[in-house]
Amino acid sequence: MVYERHIHMDGLLTDRQMEVCQLAIKGFDNFTISKIMYISEASVQMHLKHIYRALNLYNVSNGSKRILMVLKILDYNKRMAV
């Protein structure tokens, strides 16, 4: 499958990374995200790794990364709506 590469959040994330983000924000775990997107769980983990790096969350503890990812995206969306 070929995907057009669109960039989101000022060039930080691709379409697929945003899709993973949106599913993670909805509370889905990696296994469920992999089934919804028809990709391996390892691919989901790699997307999340790249997302965390793009959002400067690579030095944050694992338990906090998803929460901070949600907050950063919500803050970005709020700033863009103004």
Has residue 33 been placed in a domain? Answer: yes
Q: If residue 50 lies in a helix (H) or strand (E), which one and from where to where?
A: helix 41-54
Residue 38's domain spans which residues?
7-81
pLDDT at 9: 66
Count of domains forming the chain: 1
Has residue 1 been placed in a domain? Answer: no
* CATH number of the CATH domain containing 56: 1.10.10.10
Q: H/E/C letters for each residue in 53-78? A: HHCCCCCCCHHHHHHHHHHHHHHHHH
Question: How many C-beta neighbours within 10 Å does residue 70 have?
Answer: 15
pLDDT at 6: 46
Q: Running along the chain, 82 residues long, what does each successive block of 10 average in pLDDT?
A: 50 87 89 97 94 82 80 76 68
Has residue 20 been placed in a domain? Answer: yes
Has residue 2 been placed in a domain? Answer: no
